[in-house]
Amino acid sequence: MKKLWPHAALLGTNIFFAINFTAIKYLINGRYVQAFGLNFIRMLVTVIMLWFIYLFKKNKFVLDKSDLWRLLFCALTGIVINQLLFIKGLSLTYSIHASLLMLATPIMITLIAAVVLKEKITPLKLTGLFLGISGGALLITARENTGSGSDVVWGDILVVLNAVSYSVYFIIVKPLMKKHHPIDLIRILFTIGLVVATPFCWKEFTQIQWQQFTAVEFYVLALVTVGGTFCAYVFNVIGIKYLGPSVAGSYIYLQPLFATAVAMFVLGETLNAYKIFAAVLIFAGVFMANKSRANV
């Protein structure tokens, strides 16, 4: 049983993330909230819950002043830029597109690791990068209009840029992960991120018409904030701690599958031939790039 619960945590993480795609689209498409206003709520609720947990923690976080600049840079790339680009991009494109393009993250990590960490570019890795980028390009350049995407190309580009930002974060946060407990680190990064993001999000937050919310909208908002943000981040940390980053990372393949099913059922999005072909290219590219990295 002890061996199963970290896997259950990772499964829960990716289910929450998958539901997040459609839940966010539901709130934004229904004009209940704008993208940055919703992101402010996500970050605020997560920060409050993380600090509430901290009250019951015996071993308190000790900040090393030499880590300040790295913490700030991690908060910018892993929380502020990442979250704002993701939610804005998702508001403009299709949930299925966004969930597939999020798989660009491990591909971007491979590229950045090659440049920054001087990892060797093998033929297998190069082929994986080519397939993954081709699949992403196919999604971005395809033309479709099912009503759930207002500016699909720009939305897709923002989602890819979000993946680039998170990939940079993934590389630079590793030294901090070795020094601090992951939940402590996430709490500090989210807190810094909330402070930095507030000026960009405050106007849209104040424009939310709360009187339009019914019990359904508040339930969906709870799915986005408590489930798709707080629980997803904490569950993912548990999975990484007990199973390692490689196993935790492999669960990302489930996200598009869950996200596609939910988007088709709730938003009426379609699974066309080009999406299936793009998905095959991206899945193959991620698999080959990751396999190559593991063998270097």
Encode pLDDT of 234-257 as tens digits.
888 777 777 776 667 667 777 777
Q: Which residue has the higher pLDDT, 86 or 284?
A: 86
Averaged confidence pLDDT in the chain: 82
Instruction: Please measure the distance between the N-terminal and C-terminal CA atoms of the chain and give it in whole angstroms.
Output: 34
Which two three-digit tokens encode residue 27? Answer: 């709130």
Give Cα separations from 147 to 179, 233, 269 (angstroms): 47, 31, 8
Angle between helices 4-29 and 254-266 (to 10 degrees): 40
Give Cα separations from 180 to 6, 47, 64, 284 (angstroms): 20, 18, 10, 34
Assign residue 89 a region (left: φ > 0; alpha: ψ between -120 and 50; beta: otherwise): alpha
- pLDDT at residue 146, rounded to an integer: 55
- Point out the least confidently predicted range of 109-118, 182-191, 278-287: 109-118
CB count in 10 Å sphere of residue 295: 10
CB count in 10 Å sphere of residue 116: 11
Q: What is the pTM of this model?
A: 0.82
Question: Mean pLDDT, to the nearest integer, of 45-72?
Answer: 84
CB count in 10 Å sphere of residue 190: 28
- Give the burial string for 199-221 (b: 16+ CB within 10 Å, else e): eebeebbeebeeeebeeebeebb
Question: Mean pLDDT, to the nearest integer, of 260-265?
Answer: 81
Residue 191, pLDDT > 60, answer: yes
The percent of residues in the chain predicted with pLDDT above 70, rounded, is 87
Q: How many residues would you count in the chain? A: 296
Question: Mean pLDDT, to the nearest integer, of 209-232?
Answer: 92
Question: Mean pLDDT, to the nearest integer, of 128-143?
Answer: 73
Under DSSP, the state recorded for 223 is I
Among 92-106, 112-126, 202-216, 276-290, which range has the highest average pLDDT? 202-216
- Residue pair 76/194 in contact (Cβ under 8 Å)? The answer is no
Residue 232, pLDDT > 60, answer: yes
CB count in 10 Å sphere of residue 276: 11
Contacts of 64 (CB under 8 A, 6+ apart): 179
Under DSSP, the state recorded for 150 is S
With cut-offs at 50, 70 and 90, classify the pLDDT of residue 18: confident
Amino acid at 212: Q
- Point out the least confidently predicted range of 6-15, 164-173, 242-251: 242-251
